[in-house]
Amino acid sequence: MFLRNLNLFHFKNIEEAQLEFQRDVVCLLGKNGSGKTSLLDAIHYLSFTRSAINLSDAQNVKIGQGQFMIKGQFEISGKSKEVICSFQAGQKKIIREDGQDCIKFSEHIGRFPVVLIAPQDIVLIWNGGEVRRNFFDTLISQLDKRYLENLIIYSNHLKQRNSLLRSFSESGNVDHDLLASYDQMLIPAGNIISQRRNQFIQNFLPILRQQYNFLIDGAKEEVRIEYRTDLSNANFEDLLKRNLSKDIAVQRTSAGIHRDDFDFVINENELKKFGSQGQQKSFLIALKLAEFQTIAEAKGLKPILLLDDIFDKLDDFRIHQLMILVSQGKFGEIFITDAIQGRSLQIVNDAKVKAQFFTVENGRFTHG
Ligand SMILES: Nc1ncnc2c1ncn2[C@@H]1O[C@H](COP(=O)(O)OP(=O)(O)OP(=O)(O)O)[C@@H](O)[C@H]1O
Ligand SMILES: [Mg+2]
């Protein structure tokens, strides 16, 4: 899949831009704060209907303006497709594919796959379980609609169950029948999600290791992801029954797949505590490249790869390995940003990759 043209209007610090991408590798070079990440974020919008950085759409409208518009012309299995995303303050965001408004954004997501590798990925290692669950949920949902449906069922019934627990706690009365009706929905959904997460990690692990091993080539480092769940040694139904009085006391459901985690491990130690900065970054790159490979295999379509500030913290060897993958054409279209212009020019030239360069200055993009 390729993005051939991109038009931007009042998006972040970009007043207006009309860009045409002629090569598979596009480098965006410019000083800090010039607008490199903003351009990648616009591409992210077209794929995921939202920013990779800001939760609120309004924050992405150029300061002082009332709306933004992003228009992309994609080439996908030989066909041309236009995607527009526009947002006006106080109105509903619009996603339009070939002139047709998209009613359910969840149906758009996954049709124009993008994998972003960015500095903020570090939260996947440093933060709590929620970010890791979100990462894997988003990935598995793109491959398996049934998983997504069960996630929605689980999350809705968990919310209702928790508010029921609060009301039991306040009134002192427990309505066992009502509770059982929620649990009847929660239990099968929880079991399906847990089994799918477990199975997914088993398939994903060899891909992750292969990507990591290629990046480090011969260094003695072994990485692993361990899936942890309350459901590993216990039946979910028994667990809910056993915890009922505790759940009423704490006014929430204390066991279930909403507490699952995915431990990242290097050489049998926790990556967060024992991994060096470069090892953590290498792990995240391998994780995202494994994501790329998983989506590409499942959809028969190579996602667009967005590499934001990828060269920071990587040693020359690991950069070289990454560029081998780029030069071998393992990916489809790649966007690379760098604030250190000379470095990227050198890396791309050394790898003999034919790239298109843009200089970015104050939200303006010029060729060369
Ligand atoms: N809604 C907005 N309106 C106007 N400017 C904005 C808006 N949101 C962000 N900016 C500004 O846009 C500029 C470009 O940000 P961006 O993250 O794209 O820079 P960058 O080129 O990636 O820099 P770095 O090399 O530091 O990562 C920043 O100065 C930022 O403050
Ligand atoms: Mg940036």
Q: Are strands 94-97 and 79-88 parallel, antiparallel or unpaired?
A: antiparallel
The tally of CA atoms less than 13 A away on the side-chain side of residue 145 is 6
Cβ–Cβ under 8 Å, residues 84 and 102: no
Among 17, 67, 116, 267, residue whose Cα is nearest residue 6? 17
Determine the CATH number of domain 129-300: 1.20.1050.90
141 ligand 1 Cβ < 6 A: no
Please provide the DSSP assignment of 138-196 as one string. HHHHHH-HHHHHHHHHHHHHHHHHHHHHHHHHHHS---HHHHHHHHHHHHHHHHHHHHH
Residue 238, sorted as left (phi over 0), alpha (psi -120 to 50) or beta, turns out to be alpha
- The pLDDT of residue 135: 96
Minimum CA distance residue for ligand 1 atom 27: 32
209/113 Cα distance (integer angstroms): 23
Cβ–Cβ under 8 Å, residues 363 and 14: yes
Minimum CA distance residue for ligand 1 atom 3: 62
CATH superfamily of 1-113+304-368: P-loop containing nucleotide triphosphate hydrolases (3.40.50.300)
Q: Give pLDDT tens digits along the chain (368 positions).
A: 999 999 999 999 999 999 999 999 999 999 999 999 999 999 999 999 999 998 899 999 999 999 999 999 999 989 999 999 999 999 999 999 999 999 999 889 889 999 999 999 999 999 999 999 999 999 999 899 899 999 999 999 999 999 999 999 889 898 999 999 999 999 999 999 999 999 999 999 999 999 999 998 877 899 999 999 999 989 999 999 999 999 999 999 999 999 999 999 999 999 999 999 999 999 999 999 999 999 999 999 999 999 999 998 788 888 999 999 888 888 999 999 999 999 999 999 999 999 999 999 999 999 98
- Ranges of each domain in the chain: 1-113+304-368, 129-300
34 ligand 1 Cβ < 6 A: yes
* C-alpha 168 to ligand 2 mean position (Å): 49
* C-alpha 39 to ligand 2 mean position (Å): 9
| SS3 state of residue 79 | strand
- The pLDDT of residue 91: 94
Minimum CA distance residue for ligand 1 atom 5: 13
- The pLDDT of residue 54: 87
125/110 Cα distance (integer angstroms): 24
The tokens for 288 are 């995202």
60 ligand 1 Cβ < 6 A: yes
3-state secondary structure 315-341: CHHHHHHHHHHHHCCCCCCEEEEECCH
- The pLDDT of residue 218: 78
Minimum CA distance residue for ligand 1 atom 11: 13
Host H or E run for residue 350: helix 341-350
Widest Cα–Cα separation across the chain: 72
Host H or E run for residue 94: strand 94-97
63 ligand 1 Cβ < 6 A: yes
Host H or E run for residue 262: strand 261-266
* C-alpha 363 to ligand 1 mean position (Å): 8
- The pLDDT of residue 106: 84
| Ligand nearest the Cα atom of residue 32 | 1
Q: Give the number of the atom of ligand 1 that is nearest the alpha carbon of residue 64.
A: 3
* C-alpha 31 to ligand 1 mean position (Å): 11
